[in-house]
Structure 1
Amino acid sequence: MSKVQSVIIETSPHRPVNFNEKAVSKVLEESYLIADVKEDGVRLNLCVEQHHVDSTEEFWTTEWLSREGKRFPAMGALGALDGDRRWEDFFETDEALFPEGFMLDAELRIDDLPCKDIAGTLRRHQAIDLSRLKVIVFGILPMSVVRSGQDYDVTHSVMKYHVEYQVKLLQERFPEIAWSVVESLDCFSMVEVDTLYESVRERKLEGLVLKDPIGIYKRSKQSGMWKMTPDDNEDGKVVGLVWGTPGLANEGKVIGFEVLLESGHVVNACKISKALMEEFTAKYHAYNEVSCTCCPPTEENPYEGHTVKVTFMERYPDGSLRHPSFDSFRGISAPTIKE
């Protein structure tokens, strides 16, 4: 069974709520919207802060964390930039925005891999070459605020300039990593929002995150930021297994999962490859294998509670899905936690 990782820092980043045209239109009536292009990566909270060994020795540590505040196994194996002496120059100059340390809120890409492959790579305890990393930054907070758990009283319109300023310095001091500022555009009408969204989708990108420019950076999932993505996928948790039909080719194999979606519907998410069928079935049998005849047989699901992404063709008026399919697991630091 997978070892559940502990929370390193309770980062509680501001997460966007689902798109609400009424709420978004209200913001547009009063001012404008900041529209960030949503990258198909993994949410990263990169924390950098100073630690003191004693009164004379100090060093800077880095933690590459998920939005749940847990380490990515691959980044833990790498120890990227942890204890790097270049941080001393970074923070000793007047160029450091937050001298006591900061948290970058960003999207992490690895080469040009799709999100599900990035998550799979981060799950492995194998170091990743820094040149493969792409860190697309859209937020920055001082570590004192992160650790306090309070909202950060800086507006989104101001924060984007803080991000630009600090990313420029990171590019200069740590060029082995591809640091960048999230692609963003100010929109003054729903027509502009819709036009930008369509162009982003044509580029095969995930969508937009819309921000109220006078809204502040809040903690956890709250309004002031809205996620504008296509209604063709939904997350959920595994509540059962789907087995192949007796008498047909896949008899005796796990061909998918019963998934309780976040919307409350339970669907059979199948349409997986032959290789995944073999993998899931083998894990089921290994998990339920008994070591002695005195032990009663078990029928436990080794994937129970795993977080997954389900794709579909369309959503019916009653909320059910047309042709739901298993896409990928969402857990990285732990299989039951969506990250």
Structure 2
Amino acid sequence: MAVQQVIIQTKPHRPVDFSTSAIKAVVDESYIIADVKYDGVRLNLCVWPGLGEASLHWLSREGKQFPALSFNGAEPLDRDDRWAKFFGTDEALFKDGFMLDAELLIDDLPCKDIAGTLRRHEAIELSRFKVMVFGIVPMDVVLSGQEYRVTHSVMKYHVAYQVGLLKKRFPEIDWQVAESWDLFSMEEIDQTYEVVREQNMEGLVLKDPNGFYKRSKQVGMWKCVPDDNEDGTIVGLVWGTEGKANEGKVIGFEVLLESGHVVNACKITKAQMEEFTAKVWEWMRLPEHDSTPMPYAGHTARVTFMERHPDGSLRHPSFDSFRGISDPKIKE
């Protein structure tokens, strides 16, 4: 997998872990905004106007291009002449360009399949896209690296306005405002969380309505998701048991979790078993393989599990997916 260069250091505001005390303090003072957390890929769509057109980049949260969206050097909607009307009238909220902070969905695919699709150097029909927008920031603020001192309670109206114009000018893409509620108690948060989980959504992102859009992972936004997955880094292989059907095959990975525990994440599919084993055996046949890193060493991965024990270890950890898109060693 080719390593993609950073196009723009977007540094989007990322939610921190759920904190009952911090969230309760916000609710006690006013209320909290609860956005649906979709099972897609974080998208930072950067657009800036030119003479009669506009340039743009479809970027990951790491500021890197998705291979499938920079196919043959052309990105969707780049230098499309419809931007002239968008920026040339009073329609555009930010005349000097903007970044949409959104979740990119493709068809009804789960996140791991969306990531796989975006990794391939194959063009994707725009009609398959669903862009769930939850933030918009002026491009000059993005490039400055500073926080955007517009409250979350106001930004959601900016998002609704700009999404409406995108739907009008570029109807081939399904632009939508991320579903959101204003909640006034911890009980409402719990009830809403249960509803979205029953609808097979990933969870919620909670926002302080009086907080600002900050850069990178900072308080003011909290993720409310089930404690059943954790990301980590692959540090080794798990081989099938001698004398069993999968002897000589890679059946999983040793993963160093962000919490510091190392687990054997297995339960991969037969197709993955064949793919991973073939790649590892190809590496092992290299004359210099002792001095060459194992093909999957350092790759970021997501591990799912049934529950977390008091000592921090996991019950029934399983390999879920790789987390890298533009770079296998960077979580995106």
Residues in 2 aligned to 1:48 and 1:296: alpha-carbon distance in whole angstroms = 45
1:67 maps to 61
Aligned to 1:19: 18
Give CA-to-partner distance per residue, 1:157-197, whole Å, 9 cap, x none.
Answer: 00000000000000000000000000000000001000000
Instruction: Give me the TM-score of the superposition, normalised by structure 1.
Output: 0.95
With normalisation by structure 2, the TM-score equals 0.97
Match of 1:258 in 2: 254
Q: Does 1:149 align with 2:145?
A: yes
CA distance in 2, matches of 1:287, 1:35: 47
CA displacement at 1:302 relative to structure 2: 0.5
Structure 2 residue 103 is matched with structure 1 residue 120: no
Q: Which amino acid aligns with 1:79?
A: E
Instruction: Indicate the residue corresponding to 1:30 in structure 2.
Output: 29
Separation in 1 of the partners of 2:254 and 2:290? 22
How much does 1:296 deviate? 7.2
Q: Which amino acid aligns with 1:145?
A: V
Change (3 A) 1:98 1:296: closer
2:309 aligned partner: 316
Among 312, 322, 332, the residue aligned to 1:329: 322
Q: How does 1:128-207 map to 2 (within 5 A)?
A: 128-207=124-203
Distance 2:147 2:106 in 1: 30
Find the counterpart in structure 1 of residue 233 from structure 2: 237
Q: Deviations over 1:66-121 (max 9, x none)?
A: 00000000011151000000011100111110000000000000011111100000
Equivalent position SS for 2:209? coil
- Report deviation, 1:299: 7.0
Extract unaligned runs of 5+ from structure 1.
Answer: 52-56
> Partner letter of residue 236 of structure 1?
G
Q: By how many angstroms is 1:298 displaced?
A: 5.6
Please say if residues 52 and 81 of structure 2, whose CA atoms lie closer than 8 Å, have aligned partners that are also in contact: no
Counterpart Cα distance in 2 of 1:235 and 1:296: 27
Q: Distance in 2 between matches of 1:229 and 1:136?
A: 18
Letter in 2 for 1:37: V
- Deviation (angstroms), 1:297: 5.5
Partner of 1:269: 265
* Residues 196/298 of structure 1: CA separation in 2 closer, same or farther (3 Å cut): same
Aligned CA distance change for structure 1 residues 144 and 13 (closer, same or farther; 3 Å) = same
**SS of alignment partner, residue 140 of structure 1:** strand
CA RMSD in angstroms comes to 1.2
Distance 1:7 1:17 in 2: 24
Aligned to 2:207: 211
Q: Is the 8 A contact 1:16 1:225 kept in 2?
A: yes
Secondary structure, counterpart of 2:63 in structure 1: coil
- 3-state secondary structure, aligned to 1:120: helix
Displacement of 1:289 = 2.8
Q: Which amino acid aligns with 1:183?
A: E
1:54 matched to which residue of 2? none
Q: Which amino acid aligns with 2:268?
A: I
- Matched residue SS, 2:70: helix
Deviation per CA, 1:301-337, whole angstroms, max 9, x where unpaired?
Answer: 1001111110000000111100000011111111111
**Contact 1:256/1:268 (8 A) holds in 2:** yes
Partners of 2:247 and 2:91 in 1: CA distance: 64
